[in-house]
């Protein structure tokens, strides 16, 4: 059993966030008191200010920032919205109450700070993330849960009402939803030596049934397509805090390859955030070369699939290694294969044959 | 017999009776409106020319109110003008084409026939007499009732009366067929708009329904009265020049009894019979004191060797300067005779000068306005005429050349506007301010310009906001202080307004509370129709209108951007008032403070900025 190696306890994380929020609040207060118009400096998130940091192995924002001032009447409204969100985030963090993007949109209406639509409030949330350099999950704003986790991992809840309560995640075969309570829980201990992130719920269930967790000493995570940020945060914590390697299994197409890439090195949309990436994570399939190798049934690529191939070829992260190689093969064969394609050779073919081979191969990646 | 019938003359009255449509008396609606106009305008003109602040009361009363329109109405217009001396009253109101308005100066009516047309129309439709009450001396009021003898163009006085009264003025009352239910709007508009362009006049209108429209005078100063002046060279045509040449005092005078009488008088030889040599002796002595026509007659007599009796028997046929012969017809012998002329004699010079007319420079300086001796010489150089050219000797071709050159030469000063009576910028602005009560107004009076030799002045005003309704652009058109109400579609003013790109001036022309007042003053306004309701688009007038409108639009645009700024400041203040309290609330909680920061001052400052912008716009 691995002992927890918690660098940054969740409690401290909240404390730190509250400190930052308070600091911002105090600055605005001071400005008003001295007759100044308060302002926020927000890192610029436009494409021109997003660049790939090779050292960090993720997209980061450049040094450009834009000023949002209460003096400027065209910014006054969004300034107020941003300050309100900071105020609201502070409240959520204090009370450890989780909320969703949609909750935020509706909550604003109680304070005469109206958002025209959820799109506007979602934008302000990203603004606050950028100002604080913290993902929204840190201030208790969560996406709808659709990803889940299963395996021998014991956690200890920190959310109000469950504080100190422990839970082993291998007792329920449908897995556990990765929600606020999971993301904020302490990772106590585990017998697993590996984390397998899998794109699809169907395969996740198959893996549980086939006891992949036991056979391969692994924690299985269903990302539900593109991994939500809370799932990515959890993956990172599993890797960093418990020293578990992370491997990723996706459909054999260009989107699958990119799901793996986002877990590994983040997305341009979240360039303002750190701590969301698992740079050591490994994509082990389904590769383009696997299609031929395992004689998988294929589906022809659509127009948009092909376009996506060419788009990704311009991405700096796809310029080397298997990322480059596999993308080139996809572009060439213009075919794709789903995870379920292995069922042609029997339902357990994927866990019995493909998975062990790939895991062996991954070690050398 | 038949030829006699063909050339049977008709009297002017009969002519207008047959063509009354031309003068605006085509139907009961139009006729009632036109009659109102003619009488009111006559009254205003009379007051203007005698320097009296007009106080005009107009009343329209139905003879039988219960009858449906069209029906008989009694129209009475009363003014406080100079009145008309009793001996002129029958002619002034009882004949067509009697008036004093021929000449080159601005007046509302042109030919003095409108009022008589109204009377004529009333008489035709109701067979009732016109009632005129005139008091021209402030002592006695003369009352007349009369009809018009259409065939003879002569008044028939039915009743005459005298009353002692100190109230000067004229009151005319006619009975006519009219349709007030249809003409009412136009008449009320007419009265209202007249009061706008005549802000020094008090105008009252009692309408047939018992309603009273009273427009009190706004200002107590009258624009200077116009004077009669010579034409301007620009745009004068060949025919006009020809007429001016004939019209000079330089033609050989008609030697009739009257003329001979004049010659005798100037020589002091009225009574007795004188011999030829007596006359010549006296002539030598008195030459310097004699008038030009008398000198010419005496010059003729010197060559004819004629005394007054002989002079009566001859008719001058030709002064042949080339052969130095004087050709004349002798009545006593019934034959053409020829007399020699002595080239050396000063009588010859006198005659020669007369026949050849003035020198071109002299003609130009004397007969036209705005042409001085220097300008005349310069012009001759430009037109390639010798300055000393005698205008009487000019051929038709030369006249055409002269007329063309007069129009193309650019050295003449702009026309003398003293013959015009624009309202003036200040009265116009006051009128606009008081009648419309706008937020913004501006006026401009352009310098005088000319079309076809007729001077004109454009006055224009613009008003925005305030009590003006947001119905888009409303244009009030005036010409010589007359409102133009009909046929506006084809008017040059509307054309210019429509062609303006109002967006450039920050104005939404289809919904803005915008009023444009345009006043064209001219000795002859180029109306498109006899009804005098729309002005033709002469390029010169259009250009002036455009310049005037551009000037005003720029001013409006300045106001609009200032207004925009003030509105923006207000909007800013509103935004701060809305959001700063929220910001204060959130940051207080966020920072853990107990009391909210003092931000009121910031809102106040922003609000003040708005106020300042407002004040600035008021003072300007």
Tens of pLDDT along B37-48?
889 988 888 888
The values of phi and psi at residue A89, to 5°, are -65, -40
The pLDDT, as a whole number, for residue B617 is: 44
- What does the pLDDT read at residue B2? 39
Q: Distance of alpha carbon B147 from its chain centroid, rounded?
A: 30
pLDDT of residue A169: 93
B598 contacts in A (CB within 8 Å)?
32-33
A-chain residues near B589 (CB < 8 A): 25, 87, 90
Residue B103 in this model has a pLDDT that exceeds 70? no
For A148-363, CATH number out of 3.30.1600.10, 3.90.220.20, 3.10.100.10, 3.40.1360.10 equals 3.40.1360.10
Confidence of residue B101 (pLDDT cuts 50, 70, 90): very low
- Residue B507 scores a pLDDT above 50: yes
Q: Using CB atoms, which residue from A29, A77, A86 is nearest to B579?
A: A77
Rounded-to-10 torsion of CA A97, A101, A104, A106: -120
CA-based nearest residue to A272, from A167, A135, A153: A135
- The arithmetic mean of pLDDT across residues B230-234, rounded, is 77
pLDDT over 50 (residue B56): yes
**B373 touching chain A per CB within 8 A:** no
Query: Considering the domain A2-142 in this protein, what is its CATH number?
Result: 1.10.10.10
**Shortest Cα distance from A271 to chain B (angstroms)?**
27
* Helix (H), strand (E) at residue B192: helix B180-197
Is A106 designated active site? yes
User: B327-340, pLDDT tens digit by residue?
Assistant: 888 888 888 888 88
**Average pLDDT of span B377-387:** 89
pLDDT for residue B619 is more than 70: no
B598 interfacial to chain A (CB closer than 8 Å):
yes
Contacts of B414 (CB under 8 A, 6+ apart): B370, B447, B448, B449, B450
Q: Is the pLDDT of residue A142 over 60?
A: yes
pLDDT in tens, A307-332: 999 989 988 888 888 899 999 999 99
Architecture of the domain delimited by B238-247+358-408 = Orthogonal Bundle (1.10)
Give the nearest chain A residue to B601 (CA atoms): A35
Question: Are the Cβ atoms of B591 and A76 closer than 8 angstroms?
Answer: no
Cβ-contact B39, B75 below 8 angstroms? yes
**Mean local confidence (pLDDT), B471-491:** 84
Q: Are B603 and B559 in contact (CB under 8 A)?
A: no
Is A76 within 8 Å of B579 when comparing Cβ atoms?
A: yes
Question: In A, residues 105-124, which contact B (CB 8 Å cutoff)?
Answer: 111-113
Residue B320 has pLDDT above 80, yes or no: no
pLDDT at site A98: 82
Q: Is the pTM of this model over 0.90?
A: no
CA distance B582 to chain A (A): 7
d(CA B504, CA B536): 27
The minimum CA-CA distance between A58 and chain B, rounded to whole Å, is 33
What integer is the mean pLDDT of B302-309?
86
Cβ neighbour number for residue B530 with a 10 Å cutoff: 11
Residue B486, helix vs strand vs coil:
coil
pLDDT of residue B11: 63
CATH code of the region B12-215: 3.30.565.10
pLDDT at residue B98 greater than cutoff 70: no
Quick check: A58 pLDDT over 50? yes
Length of chain B as a residue count:
620
How close B583 comes to chain A (CA, Å)?
6
Does B595 contact A at CB distance below 8 Å?
no
Tens of pLDDT along B354-372?
777 778 888 888 888 788 8
What is residue B194's predicted lDDT score, i.e. its pLDDT? 92
* Contacts with B572 from chain A: Cβ below 8 Å: 73
Higher pLDDT, A199 or B617: A199
Instruction: Show me where the domains of chain A are located.
Output: 2-142, 148-363
Distances (CA, A) of B150 to B18, B96, B123, B145: 11, 9, 10, 16
Chain B CB contacts of A22 below 8 Å: 590-592
Residue B583 contacts A where some CB pair is shorter than 8 Å: yes
Mark yes or no for CB contact A25/B586 under 8 Å.
yes
Q: Which of B264, B63, B288, B40 is nearest to B171 (CA)?
A: B40
Active-site entry in A59, A106, A255, A294: A106
- pLDDT interval class at B141 (50, 70, 90): very high
> Would you call B591 an interface residue with chain A, using a CB distance cutoff of 8 Å?
yes
Alpha-carbon distance B560 to nearest alpha carbon in chain A (angstroms): 21
Asked whether the beta carbons of B47 and B20 are under 8 A apart, the reply is no
A-chain residue closest to B605, CA distance: A35
Q: Please determine, for residue A195, whether its predicted confidence score (pLDDT) is greater than 90.
A: yes
**Would you say A220 and A212 are in contact if contact means Cβ atoms under 8 Å apart?**
yes
User: Which of B32, B26, B54, B422 shows the shortest CA–CA distance to B190?
Assistant: B32
C-alpha distance from A19 to closest chain B C-alpha (Å): 9
With contact defined as beta carbons under 8 Å apart, do B261 and B363 qualify?
Answer: no
Q: Is the pLDDT of residue A20 over 50?
A: yes
pLDDT confidence band for B108 (50 / 70 / 90): low
Do A112 and B572 count as a contact with CB atoms less than 8 A apart? no
- Please report the number of interchain residue pairs, chain A to chain B, with beta-carbon separation below 8 angstroms: 80
Q: Is a pLDDT exceeding 50 seen at residue A3?
A: no
Note whether A137 and A229 are within 8 A (CB).
yes
- Chain A contact for B582 (CB, 8 A cutoff): yes
DSSP character at residue A270: G
**d(C-alpha B68, C-alpha B47), whole Å:** 36
Asked if the Cβ–Cβ distance from A32 to B597 is below 8 Å, we say yes
> In chain B, which residues have their Cβ closer than 8 Å to the Cβ of A80?
579, 582-583, 586
CA distance B582 to A183: 33
pLDDT band for position B109 (cuts 50, 70, 90) = low
Give the residue with greater pLDDT, A81 vs A137. Answer: A81
Q: Is B608 on the interface with A (CB under 8 A)?
A: no
At B524, give phi and psi (nearest 5°).
-145, 105
| Facing residue for B597 by CB, picked from A24, A29, A70 | A29
Residue B330 phi/psi, 5-degree rounding, is: -100, 115
Report the C-alpha gap between A352 and B352 in whole angstroms. Answer: 139
Task: Say what the pLDDT of residue B609 is.
Answer: 56
Length reported for chain A: 365
Cα A300 → chain centroid: 29
Q: Which helix (H) or strand (E) holds B336?
A: strand B335-340
| B602 to A84: CB separation less than 8 angstroms, yes or no | no
pLDDT at B386 over 50: yes
User: What are the two backbone dihedrals, phi and then psi, of residue A228, each rounded to the nearest 5 degrees?
Assistant: -65, 165
Classify residue B151 as exposed, middle or buried by CB count within 10 Å of its CB (0-12, 13-18, 19+). exposed
Check pLDDT > 90 for residue B174.
yes
Instruction: Inform me whether the C-beta atom of residue B571 falls under 8 Å from chain A C-beta atoms.
Output: yes
Of B97-101, B162-166, B437-441, which range is least confident? Answer: B97-101
The confidence score (pLDDT) of residue B9 equals: 53
Asked if B579 reaches chain A (Cβ–Cβ under 8 Å), the answer is yes
Mutation test of the interface with chain B: which of A23, A27, A28, choosing the one with the most B Cβ atoms within 10 A? Answer: A28
User: How high is the pLDDT of residue A180?
Assistant: 83
| pLDDT at residue B63, rounded to an integer | 93
Percent of chain B at pLDDT above 90? 23
So what's the pLDDT on residue B1? 39
- Which residues partner with B143 through β-bridges? B133, B161
DSSP assignment letter at A337: B
Check pLDDT > 90 for residue B95. Answer: no
Q: Do A35 and B587 make contact, defined as CB atoms within 8 angstroms?
A: no
B573, closest residue in chain A (CA to CA)? A73
- In CATH, the number for domain B417-552 is 3.30.230.10
**What DSSP string runs through B555-607?**
HHHHHHHHHHHHHHHHHHHHHHHHHHHHHHHHHHHHHT-SSPP--HHHHHHHH
The Cβ of residue B80 has, within 10 Å, a number of other Cβ atoms equal to 21
Q: Chain A 115-174, CB below 8 Å of chain B: which residues?
A: none
**Mean pLDDT across chain A:** 88
Residue scoring higher pLDDT (B581 or B607):
B581
pLDDT at B548 over 90: yes
């Amino acid at each position: 059993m691995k002992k927890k190696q918690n660098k940054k306890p969740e409690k401290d994380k909240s404390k730190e966030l509250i400190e930052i929020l308070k600091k911002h609040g105090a600055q605005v207060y001071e400005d008003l008191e001295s007759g100044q118009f308060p302002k926020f400096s927000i890192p610029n998130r436009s494409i021109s200010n997003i660049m790939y940091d090779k050292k960090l192995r993720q997209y980061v924002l450049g040094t450009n920032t834009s000023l949002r001032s209460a003096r400027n009447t065209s910014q006054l409204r969004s300034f107020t919205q941003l300050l309100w969100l900071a105020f609201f985030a502070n409240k959520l963090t204090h009370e450890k109450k989780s909320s969703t993007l949609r909750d935020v949109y509706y909550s604003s209406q109680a304070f005469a700070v109206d958002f025209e639509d959820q799109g506007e409030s979602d934008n302000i949330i990203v603004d606050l993330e950028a100002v604080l350099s913290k993902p929204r999950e840190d201030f208790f704003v969560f996406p709808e849960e659709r990803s889940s986790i299963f395996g021998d991992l014991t956690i200890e809840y920190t959310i109000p009402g469950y504080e100190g309560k422990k839970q082993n995640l291998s007792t329920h075969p449908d897995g556990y939803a990765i929600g606020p309570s999971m993301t904020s829980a302490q990772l106590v201990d585990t017998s697993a030596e590996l984390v397998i992130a899998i794109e699809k719920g169907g395969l996740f269930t198959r893996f549980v049934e086939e006891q992949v967790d036991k056979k391969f000493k692994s924690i299985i995570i269903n990302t539900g397509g593109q991994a939500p940020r809370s799932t990515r945060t959890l993956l990172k914590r599993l890797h960093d805090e418990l020293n578990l390697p992370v491997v990723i299994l996706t459909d054999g197409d260009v989107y699958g390859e990119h799901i793996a890439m986002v877990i590994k090195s983040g997305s341009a949309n979240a360039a303002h955030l750190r701590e969301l990436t698992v740079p050591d994570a490994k994509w082990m399939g389904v590769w383009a070369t696997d299609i031929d190798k395992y004689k998988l049934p294929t589906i022809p690529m659509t127009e948009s699939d092909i376009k996506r191939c060419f788009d990704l070829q311009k991405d700096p992260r796809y310029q080397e290694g298997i990322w480059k190689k596999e993308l080139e093969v996809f572009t060439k064969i213009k075919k794709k294969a789903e995870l379920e394609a292995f069922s042609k050779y029997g339902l357990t073919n994927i866990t019995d044959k493909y998975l062990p081979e790939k895991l062996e191969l991954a070690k050398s990646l | 017999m038949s030829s006699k019938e063909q050339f049977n003359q008709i009297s002017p009255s009969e002519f207008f009776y047959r063509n009354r449509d031309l003068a605006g008396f085509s139907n009961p609606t139009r006729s009632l409106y036109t009659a109102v106009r003619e009488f009111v305008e006559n009254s205003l003109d009379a007051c203007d020319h005698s320097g009296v602040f007009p106080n005009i009361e107009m009343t329209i009363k139905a003879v039988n109110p219960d009858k449906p329109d069209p029906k008989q109405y009694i129209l009475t217009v009363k003014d406080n003008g100079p009145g008309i001396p009793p001996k002129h009253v029958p002619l002034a109101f009882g004949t067509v084409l009697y008036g004093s308005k021929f000449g080159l100066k601005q007046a509302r009516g042109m030919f003095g026939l409108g009022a008589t047309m109204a009377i004529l129309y009333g008489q035709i439709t109701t067979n009732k007499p016109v009632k005129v009450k005139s008091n021209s001396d402030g002592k006695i009021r003369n009352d007349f009732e009369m009809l018009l003898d259409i065939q003879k163009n002569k008044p028939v006085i039915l009743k005459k009366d005298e009353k002692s009264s100190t109230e000067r003025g004229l009151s005319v009352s006619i009975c006519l067929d009219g349709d007030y239910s249809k003409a009412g709007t136009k008449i009320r508009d007419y009265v209202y708009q007249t009061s706008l362009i005549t802000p020094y006049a008090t105008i009252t209108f009692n309408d047939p329904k018992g309603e009273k429209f009273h427009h009190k005078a706004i200002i107590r100063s009258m624009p200077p009265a116009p004077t009669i002046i010579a034409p301007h060279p620009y745009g004068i045509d060949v025919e006009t020049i020809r007429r001016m040449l004939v019209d000079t005092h330089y033609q050989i005078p008609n030697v009739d009894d009257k003329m001979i009488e004049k010659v005798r008088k100037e020589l002091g030889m009225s009574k007795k019979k004188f011999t030829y040599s007596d006359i010549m002796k006296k002539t030598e002595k008195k030459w310097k004191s004699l008038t030009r026509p008398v000198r010419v007659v005496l010059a003729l007599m010197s060559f004819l060797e004629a005394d007054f009796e002989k002079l009566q028997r001859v008719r001058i046929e030709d002064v042949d300067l080339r052969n130095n012969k004087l050709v004349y017809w002798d009545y006593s012998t019934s034959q053409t005779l020829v007399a020699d002329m002595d080239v050396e004699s000063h009588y010859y010079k006198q005659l020669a000068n007369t026949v050849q007319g003035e020198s071109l420079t002299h003609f130009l300086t004397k007969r036209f306005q705005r042409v001085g001796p220097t300008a005349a010489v310069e012009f001759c150089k430009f037109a390639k005429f010798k300055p000393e050219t005698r205008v009487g000797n000019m051929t038709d071709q030369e006249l055409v050349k002269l007329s063309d050159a007069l129009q193309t030469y650019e050295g003449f000063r702009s026309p003398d506007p003293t013959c015009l009576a624009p309202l003036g910028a200040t009265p116009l602005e006051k009128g606009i301010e008081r009648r419309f009560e706008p937020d913004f107004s501006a006026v401009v009076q352009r310098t005088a310009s000319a079309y076809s030799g007729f001077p004109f002045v454009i006055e224009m005003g613009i008003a925005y906001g305030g009590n003006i309704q947001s119905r888009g652009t409303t244009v009030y058109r005036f010409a010589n202080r007359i409102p133009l109400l009909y046929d506006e579609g084809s008017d040059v003013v509307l054309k210019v307004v429509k062609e303006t790109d109002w967006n450039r001036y920050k104005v939404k022309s289809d919904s803005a509370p915008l009023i444009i007042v345009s006043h064209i003053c001219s000795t002859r306004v180029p109306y498109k129709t006899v009804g005098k309701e729309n002005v033709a688009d002469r390029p010169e007038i259009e250009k002036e209108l455009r310049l005037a409108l551009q000037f005003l639009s720029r001013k409006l645009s300045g106001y609009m951007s200032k207004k925009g700024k003030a509105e923006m400041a207000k909007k800013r203040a509103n935004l701060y008032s809305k959001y700063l309290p929220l910001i204060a609330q959130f940051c207080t909680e966020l920072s853990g403070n107990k009391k909210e920061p003092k931000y009121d001052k910031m809102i106040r400052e922003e609000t003040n900025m708005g106020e300042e912008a407002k004040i600035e716009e008021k003072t300007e």
